[in-house]
Chains A and B, each alone.
Chain A
Amino acid sequence: MSATVELDRVSADFGSFRAVDKVSVTIGAGEFFSFLGPSGCGKTTILRMVSGFIAPSEGHIRIGGEDMDGIRPNKRPTVLIFQNLALFPLMSVWENVSFSLEMRGVDKAARRARAEELLKIVDLPGAGDKMISQLSGGQKQRVAIARALAVEPKVMLLDEPLSALDLKLRQHMRAELRAIQKRTNVTFIYITHDQGEALAMSDRVAVMSQGRLQQVAKPEDIYNNPSNGFVASFVGENNVFDGRILASQTTSARFETDIGIFEAVLHAPPSSDAKLRLYVRPEHARLVSTAPEAGNAIAVTISDISFEGNFINIHATTDQGRVLTVETRNDGSSDIPETGSRRYFTFDAQRARILADETQAAHS
């Protein structure tokens, strides 16, 4: 019970503001697909267009191959889980869960039975007679999912449903959502600004900025092979260096910055006017005592060490005053330098990327 969702050059205009700009993507049946982006990037608008609450200004949305143009939300094979869940507070849990069945005219006994089944699926057996106000945040979450599943949707749309939960519960619900998705095999389209959520749960992630898709890829590719500066800096941390290319080979280039010349990965040759930057993730950088022969080293002074629990962030200042960050695991495998000591900040050429700045997302 799942369907493909196809966005074909979909745009959404609000007055003169273009919230979504020619987005094309095909989401596979049974896929867990996330739209990841900062607030205002158009991801919620996409979700509302797929669910039918707003019509695209341009382009087409097809679900299971069928054009959804002019089809109202209640006639679409989708169901939306709202950010605030939008449970009905005046109805009991089981009435909430079986609301869609009531709308279809299913009789009360059958509704009640189905509600209990669904509550079991979301791990809330026997909660049917409670009122919504008696539930905890995580329980409300489960009721919302059960209520959505009752529709037997082919596509489930989730609008940051975990954002209101505390950290522990959020992490637990991530796994839970993923498990429910695998169990029901419904296509999940998940909206979030939390990269951790998107990376941990999704089969594929679409990173969005200013109404445009920046990259659509598997979570590990999003993180390891960001297609541009926006993706690199939105997903994960980076040490960023402005500069220009001195010489380039097929997959790498020499990159000149104001604190040195570095060797790094460069895929597609950039257009001549693109602003280029070098991105080095903190966990890919190391601090060493002697300058490595391979180059890619910057002399630094350790300025601050911040203990984060499972990892340690070491801040190092270059002679020019730039602060760089190195992340090391808190497993005793690496020595932690004293503050004030001199080190070399270094990284492998294969681990550093030269990427065009987010101008790709620049808006007309």
Chain B
Amino acid sequence: MKELLRRYGLTLTISFIVIVAFWLLVLVILPYIYLFEASFRLYLPIDQVNGPNDVYTLSNYSTFFVTPIHRWVFLLTIVYSSAVAAISFVVAYPLAYYLSKVATNKIVPTLFLIIMIPLWVSEILRSFAWFIILSLKGPLNFALVGLDIIEEPIRWISGFQSVIIGLVYTYVLFMLFPLYNAIQSLDTNQIEAAGDLGAPWWKIHWRVILPHAKPGIASGSVMVFMLSAGSILVPSLLGSTNSRWFTEIIQQWMFESQDWNTGSAYAFLLLLLCTGFVSLVMRLFRVSLSDIAR
């Protein structure tokens, strides 16, 4: 604080603090508090708001537990988000290993640029692009049929598969970067030592690289899982009639039923239950929060 004052003077220091405080309070904390408060109140006709019926209750939350279809959708969301995290890991690990231990220093920045460029395009455009790629008469089916890999076009956008593809594509980098950092920090001598001591390549990965990368795997998985479970864009664009995502139910409550109270309750439930799920999995794999923050 003193350092800040000495460097920037009083006016600038105060402006910094006010701007940050405004951002934190007004743009982050207050909306959450508003939603949190709303989630405990009933959705009432406007003339009854603040009336005798407007009491704090848990009924918005209990709605979730007594609606089997919502519980089912929540379960599927968690299962498929886990699948997205797992697939992202499988996709990102070889690449992260290549970037951190195999590629020469000269080529790595170029490769990172190539990887990053799609990230500059907005998520909605990328999802639409996948919608086109995956459509029944789209380029993917055209190519697969043309190359005689499949005989009949596959209906990609059906069930959860297109959602999973879209989510993996959207969030795979959140797996790649922590993995890259984790593997990067491994002393290359250890890989060589393991090889020198007779380990075949897959055992080097299994016994030396993967254990070292565990915190990276954990933080990448948590990121991808949380982002996927909370994603609304990809599931609604790439979803089909038989794929429901939990966020879509929240959106329904809020925008179709105009019931922001239950919507808020569902949103907090999503946060709570996902956090619970993540901590459970972390305990199962013996990773602590401090490992991830490393």
Binding site for B on A (CB under 8 A): 51-53, 72-74, 78-80, 82-84, 86, 88, 90, 99-100, 102-104, 147, 150-151
Residues on A with beta carbons closer than 8 Å to the beta carbon of B121: none
A74 / chain B contacts, CB cutoff of 8 Å: 195-200
Q: Are A53 and B192 in contact (CB under 8 A)?
A: yes
B187 part of interface (Cβ distance < 8 Å):
yes
Contact B197 A99 (CB under 8 A): yes
Q: How far is the CA of A86 from the CA of B194 in the complex (A)?
A: 9
**Given known contacts A79-B196, A80-B192, A103-B197, what 8 new A-B pairs fall within 8 Å (CB)?**
A73-B192, A79-B197, A86-B187, A86-B192, A88-B193, A102-B207, A103-B198, A151-B198
Are B187 and A84 within 8 A (Cβ)? yes
Overall SS of chain B's interface = helix
Contact flags B166-202 to A (C-beta < 8 A → 1, else 0): 0000000000000000000001011011111111100
B104 to chain A, nearest CB (A): 12
B interface residue numbers (CB < 8 A to A):
187, 189-190, 192-200, 203, 207-208, 211-212
Which of chain A's residues has its CB closest to B187's CB? A86
Closest to A83 in B: B189
Complex CA–CA separation, A52 to B212 (angstroms): 25
Shortest Cβ distance from residue B210 to the other chain A in the assembled complex, whole angstroms: 10
Least distance between A163 CB and chain B CB atoms (Å): 14
| B196 adjacent to A84 (CB under 8 Å) | no
Q: Name which residue of chain A comes closest to B203, CB basis.
A: A103
Given A88-B208, A103-B203, do A82 and B198 touch, yes or no (CB 8 Å)? no
Q: Which 7 A-B pairs have the closest CB atoms?
A: A86-B189, A86-B193, A100-B197, A103-B198, A82-B189, A73-B196, A74-B198
Residues on the A chain within 8 Å of B211, using CB = 90
Chain B residue numbers with a CB within 8 Å of A53 are 192, 196
Contact A104 B198 (CB under 8 A): yes
20 cross-chain CB contacts under 8 A: A52-B196, A53-B192, A72-B195, A73-B192, A79-B196, A79-B197, A80-B193, A82-B193, A83-B189, A86-B189, A86-B190, A86-B193, A88-B194, A99-B197, A99-B207, A102-B207, A103-B197, A103-B199, A103-B203, A147-B197
Tell me the complex Cα distance, A88–B204, Å: 11
Bound-state CA distance A82–B192 (Å) is: 9
Residues A90 and B212 in contact in the complex (CB < 8 Å), given A74-B200, A103-B199? yes
On chain B, the residues within 8 Å of A99 by CB distance are: 194, 197, 199, 207
Question: Which residues from chain B contact A100 at a C-beta distance below 8 Å?
Answer: 197-198
Question: Nearest chain A CB to B182's CB is how many angstroms away?
Answer: 12
Q: Looking at the assembled complex, report how far the CB atom of B101 sits from the nearest CB atom of chain A, in whole angstroms.
A: 14
**In the assembly, what is the distance between CA of A239 and CA of B14, in Å?**
69
- In the assembled complex, the Cα of A259 lies from the Cα of B84 at a distance in Å of 83
Give, as a whole number of angstroms, the nearest-CB distance from B290 to chain A. Answer: 16
- Give Cα A82–Cα B190 distance, bound, in whole angstroms: 9
Asked whether, in the complex, the Cβ of B197 is within 8 Å of the Cβ of A151, the reply is: yes
Nearest B residue (CB) for A102: B207
Complexed CA–CA distance, A100 and B208 (Å): 13
Query: Smallest distance from the beta carbon of B70 to chain A beta carbons, Å?
Result: 42
Q: Which residues of B lie under 8 Å from residue A82 when comparing CB positions?
A: 189, 192-193
How distant is the Cα of A213 from the Cα of B65 in the complex, in angstroms? 80
**Chain B's nearest CB lies how many Å from the CB of A105?**
10
Q: Which residues from A are CB-within-8-Å of B207?
A: 88, 99, 102
Given contacts A74-B197, A147-B197, contact A84 B192 (CB under 8 A): no
A90: min CB distance to chain B, Å: 5
Determine the chain B residues whose CB is within 8 A of the CB of A52 once the complex forms: 196
Give chain A residues whose Cβ lies under 8 Å from the Cβ of B194. 88, 99
Residues of chain A within 8 A (CB-CB) of B197 are 74, 79, 99-100, 103, 147, 150-151
State how many angstroms separate the Cβ of B124 from the closest Cβ of chain A.
42
Nearest CB on A from B205, distance (A): 13
Residue of B nearest to A74 (CB): B198
Nearest CB of B to A13, in Å: 17
A80: B residues at CB distance < 8 A: 192-193, 196
B195 CB contacts on chain A under 8 angstroms: 72-74
* Chain B proximity of A102: nearest CB distance (Å): 8
Least distance between B202 CB and chain A CB atoms (Å): 11
Least CB distance, A202 to chain B, in whole angstroms: 23
Query: Which A residue sits closest to B196, measured CB to CB?
Result: A73
Q: How far is the CA of A78 from the CA of B197 in the complex (A)?
A: 9
**B187 contacts which chain A residues (CB < 8 A)?**
84, 86
A94 to chain B, nearest CB (A): 14
Cα-based distance from A90 to B207 in the complex (angstroms)? 9
Could you say which residues of chain A place their CB within 8 Å of the CB of B192? 53, 73, 80, 82, 86
A73: B residues at CB distance < 8 A: 192, 195-196
CA distance A52 to B193 in the complex (A): 12
